Amino acid sequence: QSVLTQPPSASGTPGQRVTISCSGITSKIGSNTVTWYQQLPGTAPKLLIYSTNQRPSGVPDRFSGSMSGTSASLAISGLQSEDEADYYCASWDDSLNGYVFGTGTKVTVL
Amino acid sequence: QLQLQESGPGLVKPSETLSLTCTVSGGSISSRSFYWGWIRQPPGEGLEWIGTTYYSGSADYNPSLKSRVTIFVDTSKNQFSLKLISVTAADTAVYYCARTIVATNFYYYYMDVWGKGTTVTVSS
């Protein structure tokens, strides 16, 4: 079972800002950074954000990551139709001694 | 450009062993900068980390799978492999291999290059 909880769904119209939360960042995870992956329908996951707020080369700057307290967030500003996908947070959990993925959030562009 | 390709049987019988191989091209699996991992995704469900290995042969496993999983590296073939014993229908999933970047003390830990995935069905 995942210890990182995400809302099952989020939606917005083109151009809007959408935020996805990732809660359950306990003290055992909080010392480690959070990663976000994007999974387009029928494809493998893709690295979107690493080290909580860093974007790999090629990822648009409308994707941003942040952390506050026991929750991490992914924000998509200027939502586009191609952003319709599943998004997962993830981090190393020192107490479980393993890598954990969040429950996943399906983003729909209305 | 680094590419990873999973291969192995698409159908495994219950109680038998699931064996998959990930072939790495465009880079060396012996690089000291990277680890190599397996992740799976049951139909309609989320992602689950299976385990990660290093070129030296060391490995970390998901505690929930640890008793059934082995991940090992073949540097001569630039491949790494997954073995999962005593499979059941619950092991039916798309299996992905991925290059993994790990910091000291796991401060950061992420998969930056993924294979396309291979579907494994456990059924008699």
B96, B41 contact by CB (below 8 A): yes
Q: Do A47 and B48 touch (CB under 8 A)?
A: no
Amino acid B113: pLDDT:
98
B97, B6 contact by CB (below 8 A): yes
**Chain B interface disruption, residue of A5, A36, A51, A99, most B CBs within 10 A:** A99
- On whether any CB of chain B is under 8 Å from the CB of A40, the answer is no
**Spans in chain A with pLDDT lower than 50:** none
Strand positions, DSSP E, chain A: 9-12, 18-23, 35-39, 46-49, 63-68, 71-76, 85-93, 98-101, 105-109
Helix (H, G, I), strand (E, B) or coil at A28: helix
Q: List, for residues B18-64, the tens digit of each pLDDT value.
A: 999 999 999 999 999 999 999 999 999 999 999 999 999 899 999 99
